[in-house]
Structure 1
Amino acid sequence: MTPTARANGDAHGAAGRALPAPRTPSPRDAPALSWGVIAPGRIAARFAEALLAHTAQRVVAVGSRDAARARAFADRFGIPAAYGSYAELLDDPSVDIVYIASPHSGHFDQALRAIETGRHVLLEKAFTRNAREAGQLIEAAHERGVFLMEAMWTRFLPHIDVIRQVLDSGTLGEVRTVIADHGLYAQPDAAHRLYAPELAGGALLDLGIYPLSFASMVLGPFASVTAVGTKTFTGVDGQASIVVTGESGAHGVLNTTLFARTPTTASISGTRARLEIEGHFYGPAAVRLIGRDHELIDRYVPTRRDGGLCYEAAEAARCIAAGQRESELMPLDETLRLMHVLDDIRRDLGVAFPGE
């Protein structure tokens, strides 16, 4: 077959194409909510940029422990209200939903307070420090009747919907191997959040959650998890290599590290064909379908590679408008299950955070 390259245009693809077009709705069509941003750092800035550029969502308030920092963020993005505390933001009646972008160590307290005030919550990954905290948040959200979702933005991107459709179609045959990695070089510094135990630092929660979540999406619940790793000079995990098995017996081979910049690629190999995600698998990316004889069968190319965080916000908005309290694309039971996996890996590596 002659390889083709196309972008996400028509809703369902065309007959004869080996790779389908994504079914992902336009983020701009999602019902508009009024958002409050907690912890205006780098990832929060990317989130605000994506919402302003690609959605109808409104960012109406930002909260920080530093009032000047909140004001600078508000001025940068044209946000009406800036608060010098998270409590003040949660007292603002104009806020429908909060996006929490703080270090992992702050996720539980900040999300719980938001839930208790009746706010919907989009909570950055990794969801919490551990499964105990995750379970308590999920229980609180259920009791209060609010929407709660882990901000695993990858799950909502168009190329991931292409992959889901291919997996459902059986095009790959029986999936046998998933490979994914995420590593970067972080300069050793005890004050850096990735090296700080008190901020729940380390490679696993910040980077390793991506390949683990990807493997879970493909393989389903893990039947077994085996990990080896190396700790940093501060005692957090610096590198981990993980082998998981799915209930079918398929393997996932996963790696994460703070010690080197890795390709951050991913592939899914089956008995008939394989999928390769080009470049950073966790962001907007192209996907190639490769046959058993290594021939390129088809290629999907996204129309846009920037602003990928808009898709998770749009998903939250659609779910809330529909009266749903969680997303089918990133369900809370899977978030909790992966937090248990992260706990087990950290325990095997001898890594614990203060106060656990």
Structure 2
Amino acid sequence: MSAVRGRAGLLACSCDFDLPDEAPRGAGSPSLALIAAGFSFSILAQALAFAALPIAGAILAPSPAATTAPVVLMLAGAALSTFPASFLTGLFGRRSAFALGASLGVAGAAIGAWGVASGQFAGLCLGAFWLGTAQGFGLFYRHAVGSSPRAIALVLGSASLAAFAAPAVVGIAQALVGPLAPAGALIGAGLAQVCVLMLAAPLPSAIELGEGERRWRQDTPGFIAVTVAAALAWFGMMLLMTGAPLAMAGCGLGLGAASSGIAWHVLAMYAPAAVIGASGWRPPAAPTTFFGLGLLAIGCVLVRLQTSAGGFDLALIVGGCGWSLATLGATQWIHARGEPPRALLALHDFALFAGAVAGAMAVTVFA
């Protein structure tokens, strides 16, 4: 216990979660780098899960209707964790909240891999749900850098690095375990969450990297509009990420081709934000959101016309760029109006994952 906390008459628990750091706040670059790296590993885990779960579900599902159940449960877990992720960061600090989310992801990856290896569809579904809760916490990283548009864009853009690692991890899994490659990919997702946990440990409990907190300026119609647009973008993104691997399998393309397509999609989902953040350009938030939604719609149409790996990759890239712009624009719009209430952030992220769940359930359009 520090001398500051140990004054007479003060009762304190030595296992306190995240008391405010005594170091100067607003350190800037070190915290931003940690947040960006943690978000990148979280997205790597997500990319590996999305590459493995549709195929594993198709193999283990007791009926064709249950094929997408693991993906739907993963997204449902993410949606349900948005409110805990938002409020726990305020109650216990960002360090504890992000570490909790990563721990749930490690457990989910282990259970999911066991389910694949043992042929237990229920185990796969349970692991997918816990992986989803980790993603709900991971998505909150983009809210942890304050109101700076450049910081938000850099955090989102950092996840483009996951696109380069995901195919390599899947390739290693295929080389090591062959037919159990989906289990190997889920183990890789668990290791990525371990990295998230390690990066969460040195985070300060309170991070002020933005342009200063300002009172939230209420704009309910605008909030509803950008949230609905972003949710529709997540709906379309999930149509692509869930349906494209199944459509590719129907064309005789295996897990390797599917993981490569998903990797290109993930790169396109975050590279535009990286470019915008690095350049310092600040595109208008609302128009960026709606332009991205239109671009994603084009990608969803294109993917239904493809029969080759290259064609699927192109459609996934177009859709990924659209999702990137829609998500970046919506996030920047919310934070540009001041310090958002935690309930509002949770509601926004819940709407995004709800759109993704609907997209996963509507994946039959690829049939």
Fold conserved between structures, TM > 0.5 = no
By percentage of residues, which structure has more strand?
Answer: 1
Structure-2-length-normalised TM-score: 0.26
Greater relative contact order (CA < 8 Å, ≥ 6 in sequence): 2
Structure-1-length-normalised TM-score: 0.27
